[in-house]
Structure 1
Amino acid sequence: MTKRKPAVLGALGIFIILMATLSAFFLDSLPIIGAGSKYTANFSEAAGLRASNEVRIAGVKVGKVTDVALDGDKVKVEFTVSDAWVGDKTSASIQIKTLLGQKFLSLEPKGEERLNPRDAIPIDRTTAPYDVIDAFSDAARTTGDIDTTQLATSMETLSQAFSETPENIRASLDGVTRLSETISSRDDELSKLFAATDKTTQVLADRNQEFTRLIGDASVLLQELNNRQQSISQLLIGTQRVSTQLTGLIRENEAQIGPALQSLGQVIDTLKTNNQNIAEAIKLYSPFVRLYTNIVGNGRWFDQVIVNTFPPGLPDIPGYREPIRTLGVDPVRSPGAGQ
């Protein structure tokens, strides 16, 4: 058996580790592990839908859009769905997620059998909305292209043609003429207004990503506040449970706690009664502490003086002197007395 070189084995191991690391980034794209089932829907237009937009059923996110591409005269949208049932009569629509134009793909599951992933949802069961920003832009461009001078001339000609009509109709035509003249006199202002509207819609379109991130951050903030509210709610529930347990404990031990509290009250009354005595004792204890501190405060020994241990010294009298009294013997009758 031939031995492999350590360098070859090391390179093979590094290659396997790199492949495993790269596959981890695309783990959710695997059909069995994370991505779910893949489906296709045909739309008449994309309407601003993009890859990575959400796929929802009844408002709940169940997947995401993986690709939006032009397929002939229609738009083919590929998306994935996980943990949700999609029937063979399912309809799809592109809905507006935010006011700033972000979209999502909405599914309405129908049918008795599961939809075959190879069968695309046809155009007659899909709906694409008209983009709001495009609508304002088209309105601004259409209104700006109107020749107001020619419109005023047409209205005036029409008024002259109906000049011989009855008075009521002539009054109506005069009003139309005055309206056309007013529009013609305000042509520059209207042009500026529509130009400003066009610029405003363009600025909003350019800031779409910033507004989307702002709304996303606000959503994260609201989610965090919701989490804190749940934590506070759990804390209050725990406090209520502790209060209930303490109430039950007090009620169960009420017979023992009552006498104990009474005894404690008596002790407090006694302490209050002897408060003056205790204060006086502390006051008298103070000189003892000072003296004791002086005794033991000079080192590892006690300074003490013992007084009156020996009697005081007697005066020195020369010669012999009889004792004044002898215990147990009469000094008059004692032997040798008077000799």
Structure 2
Amino acid sequence: MNRLGKPPLTRSLALGSVLALLVTAAVWWVFYGVDQRRVVAYFDNAVGLYEGGEVRVLGVQVGSIDTVTPQPNRVRVELSVRRSLRIPADAGAAVISPSVVSGRFVQLTPVYDGGPKLAAGATIPNERTVTPVEIDEVYRSLDELSTALGPEGANSNGELSRLLRTSAKTLEGNGELISRTLRDLGEAGSTLSGSSEDLFSTVDQLQRITSNLAENDEQVRDFNSQMRDINQLLASQRDDLDTALSELALALDKVEKFVRENRGKLRSNVEQLNSVAKVLAEQNKALRETLTDAPLALGNLQNSYNAASGTLDTRANLNELRQPPLVLLCKLFKQIRPESQQGSLANVPSGLRDGCESVSSFLGNGGELLDPTETIAKLEQGSKPDLPLPLQRSSDELFQGSQGSGPKGQ
């Protein structure tokens, strides 16, 4: 017999039980605990949530509910989620009720699309959790609504009943019209949806207009004040305006009668005016030159007026008239362009035309006729002018003689 008072079999059984528990815990840790991530979420209530319930993402189970612990103003729910699943750090939790009587599960949202991840041991506060409305709350709200609309509420004097009767009479027989109106509203909504960019652009433009009006509030107020003053002025002059409009109506009636009676003459005048306008348009350049030079010409005319004698004092520039008549006529004939000589010289007497040709061939020097003024000016300057061939020799002898006598006289 053992001195300790415990049989060896009992001690062996106790030791075996402890070892089995340790092995079970190790197996659970290796195959379950290591792959799980603990998350704590706080809800306002946890109706329908139980330990072992599902945790889902987009309806797919990704974990389970470990514990549900009530607290004074909230419920602490501990969740286990697969460690390999990526969840955003700001994720929320919602209690989902697929039907009225079935159990509920916790849905994590939104789906991870980048950024920080939810760490193990993280907490989801009340601000990021939601719970469904309970059926008893719906019944309570309906009861409050019926009480508010009942005999002890809005219908205490029968106003609601009269409203319902009036509405029934108004809507009676208008079902098709209401249906068509709702259908048109739906089509209008579809049209607005298809033109959302234009609608938003219009709203943006209106917002800019209102902003500009707000920034220029003082100018808008001044404008409104001025418009008010104008309205008051027009109101005070209403009688005069009525009289003026009446007289204007009479005048317009007379004008209409005049136009109707003189339609042909007016058409003729307009056509003639059109001809005048066309002439003015064709002579546009000449008119511009006239308008440009007329002030200078009038100024010169004013300056040429001699008040003492009452005459216009002018100085004519008639250099061409100082030439001999034969030279002047022959120069005029020579200035005629070759392409127009046939038509221009046809009317010239043949004797005069032959005389110019004879003089031109006699003078030589390419037929160029001399200007007496130029010849005299060159002689005064002491230079020999270009003379015709018959006079060239005589002029050479004169110049040689004058040059030869010069030294002898000294």
Q: TM-score, normalised by structure 2?
A: 0.32
Q: TM-score, normalised by structure 1?
A: 0.38
Greater C-alpha radius of gyration? 2
More helix by share: 2
Higher-RCO chain (CA-CA 8 Å, sequence separation at least 6): 1
